[in-house]
């Protein structure tokens, strides 16, 4: 589904927050590599999706009301076969219905479990005066602990994308600190530039974050994503 259709669908349902599956579809259209993620509305569908994308997989509840998914029992990782997926589907549904009986459940996402990499965050928000700004920093829990981020105004040039990655204090980690493999900085800069280009043409996006984005020696992939729309 095109991002314009995703946005229209969310608005028609009275939502400003896109689901994780919708957010990843939008970002994929923007030219950002994302983990393959599909929505299942039954355990039979979940097992078929898992078999098609390959094990191991991760299952996550998709509901506008469930913000802290792990705390509610809404996430299962490292599922290695169809029976584990079916059991996890039922377990997640049961946990959410017990914890939040009135929650609106869209289904459960099934995504390929990505190999671990160096974690970064790529985000964007809207400044009332200047419009969209892009943010970059170390990802995962580190973004809250270190608060080591760099920010630039949209539109970014290739030089801006090159410099924003190098402005954080933790940049040596991306270069390959103490013998660790270096991250693919070219693909990282390309994703940041693609995001800037997308935002320049989509003023209806209020904020978004990709956290974590796993960086590898060859390539990057966004594992989780959140997109919030502007109010009409």
From 134, 139, 162, select the one nearest 150 (Cα to Cα).
134
Rounded distance between C-alpha atoms, residue 52 and residue 112, angstroms: 10
- Domains annotated on the chain, with CATH: 3-112 (3.30.1490.20), 118-229 (3.30.470.20)
The pLDDT value recorded for residue 179 is: 83
Per-residue pLDDT of the chain (232 residues; tens, 9 = 90+): 788 899 999 999 999 999 999 999 999 999 999 999 999 999 999 999 999 999 999 999 999 888 889 888 999 999 999 999 999 999 999 999 999 999 999 999 999 999 999 999 999 999 999 999 999 999 876 666 667 899 999 999 999 999 999 999 999 999 998 888 999 999 999 999 999 999 999 999 999 999 999 999 999 999 999 999 999 7
121 contact partners, CB below 8 Å, separation of at least 6: 135, 136, 137, 138, 139, 140, 143, 149, 209, 210, 211, 212, 213
From 159, 68, 80, select the one nearest 113 (Cα to Cα).
80
The pLDDT value recorded for residue 67 is: 81
From 127, 198, 190, 141, select the one nearest 164 (Cα to Cα).
190
The pLDDT value recorded for residue 204 is: 95
φ/ψ (deg, to 5) at 173: -65, -40
Backbone torsion region of residue 116, taken as left when φ is above 0, otherwise alpha when ψ lies between -120 and 50, otherwise beta: beta
Q: What would the 3-class secondary structure string for the chain be? A: CCHHHHHHHHHHCCCCECCHHHHHHHHHHCCCCECCEEEECCHHHHHHHHHHHCCCEEEEEECCCCCCCHHHCCEEEEECCHHHHHHHHHHHHHHHHHHCCCCCCCEEEEEECCCCCEEEEEEEEEECCCEEEEEEEECCCHHHHHCCEEEEECCCCHHHHHHHHHCCCCHHHHHHHHHCCCCCHHHHHHHHHHHHHHHHCCCCEEEEEEEEEEECCCCEEECCEEEEECCC
φ/ψ (deg, to 5) at 156: -90, 145
Rounded distance between C-alpha atoms, residue 2 and residue 182, angstroms: 34
Rounded distance between C-alpha atoms, residue 16 and residue 71, angstroms: 23
What's this model's pTM, rounded to 2 decimal places?
A: 0.93
């Amino acid at each position: 589904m095109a991002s314009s259709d995703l946005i229209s669908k969310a608005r028609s349902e009275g939502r400003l927050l896109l689901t994780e599956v919708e957010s990843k579809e939008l970002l994929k259209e923007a030219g950002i590599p994302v983990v393959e993620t599909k929505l299942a509305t039954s355990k039979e569908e979940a097992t078929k999706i898992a078999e098609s994308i390959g094990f191991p997989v991760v299952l996550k509840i998709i509901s506008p009301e469930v913000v802290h998914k792990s705390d509610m029992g809404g996430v299962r990782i490292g599922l290695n076969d169809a029976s584990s997926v079916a059991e996890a589907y039922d377990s997640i549904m049961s946990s959410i219905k017990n914890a939040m009986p009135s929650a609106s459940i869209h289904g459960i996402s099934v995504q390929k479990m990505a190999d671990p990499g160096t974690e970064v965050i790529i985000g964007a928000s809207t400044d009332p005066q200047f419009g969209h700004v892009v943010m970059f920093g170390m990802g995962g829990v580190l973004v809250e602990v270190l608060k080591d981020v760099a920010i630039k105004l949209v539109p970014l040039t290739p030089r801006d994308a090159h410099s924003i990655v190098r402005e954080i204090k933790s940049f040596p980690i991306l270069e390959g600190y103490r013998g660790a493999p270096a991250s693919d900085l070219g693909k990282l800069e390309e994703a940041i530039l693609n995001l800037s280009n997308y935002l320049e043409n989509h003023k209806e996006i209020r904020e978004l974050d990709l956290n974590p984005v796993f960086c590898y020696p060859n390539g990057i992939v966004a594992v989780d994503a959140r997109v919030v729309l502007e109010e009409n």
